[in-house]
A = this chain, B = another copy of it.
């Protein structure tokens, strides 16, 4: 079974909806490949324009700047992640199992995408790990936040917090623990690959390591 999902991304993020045209869709899709390949700092609209055989001016009609484009991509990812969580939790009643499913989702790579129309989720996941904090770790965060552009992240956080509270209603910090699960899964994955001395990975699979570390700490906190 294979299907595509669509989300309504907050209109404040773009100038023109990239979903409304072919160039628009192509620029988002290719930006994922390019940001992954170059890193966000080296990524430019000029390079993206070249990649999609278009011009900078065209891209600027869709996004104010590359920061907004990254935000768009991340919003899509957070929506997708919330959808995935909801989907995978369907019909699972065991509360511990529900948490384990979430930790697994947060710590494992996605399979390479097969459809050419779909975003490459594997690359997207790597972008989230390495670049996502760059959208909020900026001076203008308060200004940017006013447009509710972080809502999908907050919603994901809220959803996980609910599962945490369902498991242990007495735990006092379900939201902070949610963000800690998300952020920790990112940096432990990043560190275990790039700066392994900051972690306790042994040679083997780093997703598996991160999964074990987080699951271990989550249940020690909640039990």
Contacts and interface: CB of A to CB of B under 8 A. Distances in A.
B195 A42 contact: no
A197 B213 contact: no
Q: Is the interface of A mostly helix, strand, loop or mixed?
A: helix
B133 A197 contact: no
A111 interface: no
Contacts of A142: 194
Interface string A170-205: 001111111110011001101100110111100000
Contacts of A190: 136-137
Interface in A145-193: 145, 150, 153-154, 157, 172-180, 183-184, 187-188, 190-191
Contact of A184 (B42, B150, B183, B200): B183
